[in-house]
Amino acid sequence: MFRRRNAGAGGAVDEVTGGAEPGNSEDRPEGAGSAFTPGKGRPTPKRSEAERKRRNPSYVKPGDKAGQQQARTRDRAERARKYEAMKRGEEWALTPRDKGPIKALTRDYVDSRRRFSEYYMYILIVLVLVLFIHSTAVKAFLYPVVLAMILIIVGEGFVIARGVRKLAAVRYPGQSTRGITMYAIMRTLQLRRFRLPAPRIKPGDKF
């Protein structure tokens, strides 16, 4: 846009060429210069909140009730999905304790047979009820039974661990079998229907 100043009889007159000037002065606040930028209509988020949102896309700003409700619903659905995947034995959903081919082999080895330790919880309930019987003879009989149960459970655990180590040496040579004994004992003590991950095979099945 160019202006040309012409001297007239009454003083200086500006002659505008090429049309009107860009922008509308009515839209600008009083005192604003040519670099005026209209507002965004919302407050600028704090840097800490923006950083949290970048690192965690599911971050919900405190006080946002609708967002918090959606986040809780989303978390419940995610937990249910992970639990079902864990029951199926999917590797990504397992805890560090259950991960790895050796642990999967141990679970299959334990689940392939019914063992005395599997009924430990039922026997324990009976023993607790027996404790309420006020009889010296019954209590004297009870302690040897409890000791025998512990020895059987530990013995079964060592037998299972030895069998798993032999099988792992064939199927997964070079893989560590550390912690297998305790893992086998804890798996055997659980009732079959409550074992997690759930058994993939039935008693008597080959694996």
For tokens 């059987």, name the residue: 152
pLDDT recorded at residue 66: 74
pLDDT recorded at residue 60: 58
pLDDT recorded at residue 61: 59
Instruction: Write down the mean pLDDT value for the chain.
Output: 77
Residue 168: Cβ-neighbour burial (10 angstroms; 0-12, 13-18, 19+):
buried
Give residue limits of the domains in the chain: 57-93, 95-194
pLDDT recorded at residue 62: 63
What residues in the chain have per-residue pLDDT under 70?
Answer: 1-64, 67
pLDDT recorded at residue 82: 92
φ, ψ of residue 85 to 5 degrees: the values are -65, -35
